[in-house]
Amino acid sequence: MKALSIQQPWAWLIVNRIKPIENRTWKTPYSGPVLIHAGKKVDRQGYDWVLETFKNHEFIKTMPTLEKMPTGGVIGASYIYTCTKISKEKIWKGHNYAPWYIGPYFLELYKPKTFEMEFIPCPGKLRFFDIPLKIETNRAYRENCLATMLRMPSGFIDLTVTSPPYDDLREYKGGVKAFDFEEIAGELYRVTKPGGVVVWVVGDQTKDGSESGTSFMQALYFKKIGFNLHDTMIFKKKNRIVTNHRRYEQEFEFMFVLSKGEPKTWNPIKLPCVEAGKKRKWKDTCVGSKNTKSSKAARYRSGRVTVTGSEKTKGNIWEYATGAHMTKDKIAFEHPAIFPEGLPRDHIFTWTDPGDVVYDPMAGSGTVPKIAKLAGREWIASEVVPEYCDIIDKRLKNTFKFPPKEVE
């Protein structure tokens, strides 16, 4: 992928979405994604200028010292929108580009596509140069999932099971700086195999007496970009709920099952039939609706005797205990919003076969990768908060691969 070498602190300011442009002495017709490479050389004078010019800005509090800024490798990615030449006088003083502009050319960076990524050490070069990106399975990436997906070729993932940070229901460590839903949805579509599935587990916040509706808006956006809304499933929480509002208390979340075309794998979960072995004599119940498919089937069955089988396919409301019953891994509870292990287990067995690749772009405590590993699937996780990534690494280290039947 195309890369551009930039001195610190400018590279840090770009990937943290503070500096919206990059000054150059040369013109380029290139527009598209670019890796931000932090050069070995740093700009000490520039760093002091930033400290002085922006002393009253919030970002100064989190800006590392120049010594702590990584150098000699890729630290993030962005998107070049345009390359423009403009005279200093023409830049409107109040514009957010103005303090950063030196010219004569500037590359306008498309902010929502700008993010930090795990450090990739490599030497820099002048102008644009190429850095090949690789993806490894069975590891957690400490970065924005957009960075991880950038490493993936198209059609790479069989199944994604994930739960985004919806509305502002929970406080994640360090705060999640930006959640670019549309960018993430678009990338998920690209990296999903034809026939692959994305399970998007989401709920709504109620604010000022009204639900946000974010879950529906997201499901419809997924449809708009090409996914089938294969099934709107319900994750019902088994635990006792506290009833302290003037409405029926929330006891479920949506599990939108989105597929890229018809799902290629379908291993339905079967349940024992209560009426197993029971004989039933069919009656002609469809008099008056002669031309429908069901009336033809009913006439065909009329008078026949059938025996109820021993199993039936499970319905689309799945119930799991939450709270302390979600996992035996104590460390997982250091994360505020974990999945019960049964949830990813049931989706992984339904939509994949052993050896398939399972992805969780917002992996939290690592429940999805843990279950994927136990079930003999390849897995990839992304988690943007480093402390949560530590939980994933520790949890996965203590997880050993078992044949699927041994996953509880």
Ligand X SMILES: C[S@@+](CC[C@H](N)C(=O)[O-])C[C@H]1O[C@@H](n2cnc3c(N)ncnc32)[C@H](O)[C@@H]1O
- Return residues touching ligand X (CB under 6 A): 144-145, 163, 165, 172, 176, 179, 335, 337-339, 361-365, 367, 382-385, 388
Nearest residue (CB) to ligand X, 135 versus 298: 135
Nearest residue (CB) to ligand X, 12 versus 388: 388
Nearest residue (CB) to ligand X, 18 versus 145: 145
User: What 8-state DSSP symbol labels residue 64?
Assistant: P
Give the E-state strand segments of 179-222 in sequence order.
Answer: 192-202, 206-207, 210-211
Q: In angstroms, give the least distance from the CB of 170 to ligand X.
A: 7
- In order of 217, 218, 260, 313, 348, the CA distances from 229 in angstroms are 12, 11, 9, 20, 18
Nearest residue (CB) to ligand X, 74 versus 147: 147
Q: In angstroms, give the least distance from the CB of 202 to ligand X.
A: 9
Backbone conformation region of residue 178, classed left if phi is above 0, alpha if psi is from -120 to 50, else beta = beta
Q: In angstroms, give the least distance from the CB of 16 to ligand X.
A: 14
Q: Which two tokens stand for residue 88?
A: 């200093």
Query: Among all chains, which residue has been given the structure tokens 């939980």?
Result: 391
Residue whose CB is nearest to ligand X in the complex, by number = 364
Q: In angstroms, give the least distance from the CB of 208 to ligand X.
A: 23
Nearest residue (CB) to ligand X, 100 versus 256: 256
> Is the bond preceding 104 in cis, omega lying within 30 degrees of 0?
yes
Nearest residue (CB) to ligand X, 14 versus 363: 363
Q: Yes or no: say if 12 and 60 are a contact pair by the CB < 8 Å rule.
A: no
- In order of 11, 135, 143, 147, 175, the CA distances from 187 in angstroms are 24, 15, 15, 10, 23
Q: Yes or no: say if 145 and 361 are a contact pair by the CB < 8 Å rule.
A: yes
Q: In angstroms, give the least distance from the CB of 274 to ligand X.
A: 33
Sign of CA dihedral 76, 80, 84, 89: negative
User: What 8-state DSSP symbol labels residue 330?
Assistant: G
Q: Widest CA span of the chain, in angstroms?
A: 92
Q: Which two tokens stand for residue 242?
A: 């506290």
Q: In angstroms, give the least distance from the CB of 386 to ligand X.
A: 10
Q: In angstroms, give the least distance from the CB of 46 to ligand X.
A: 29
Q: Which amino acid is at 393?
A: D
Query: Among all chains, which residue has been given the structure tokens 């490493």?
Result: 151
Nearest residue (CB) to ligand X, 42 versus 152: 152
Q: In angstroms, give the least distance from the CB of 98 to ligand X.
A: 29
Nearest residue (CB) to ligand X, 95 versus 238: 238
Q: In angstroms, give the least distance from the CB of 280 to ligand X.
A: 43
By the 10 Å C-beta count (0-12 exposed, 13-18 middle, 19+ buried), 142 is classed as buried
Nearest residue (CB) to ligand X, 63 versus 343: 343
Nearest residue (CB) to ligand X, 60 versus 178: 178
Q: In angstroms, give the least distance from the CB of 183 to ligand X.
A: 9
Q: Yes or no: say if 42 and 9 are a contact pair by the CB < 8 Å rule.
A: yes
| 18: helix, strand or coil | coil
- In order of 170, 238, 385, the CA distances from 203 in angstroms are 12, 16, 21
- What are the two backbone dihedrals, phi and then psi, of residue 2, each rounded to the nearest 5 degrees? -60, 140
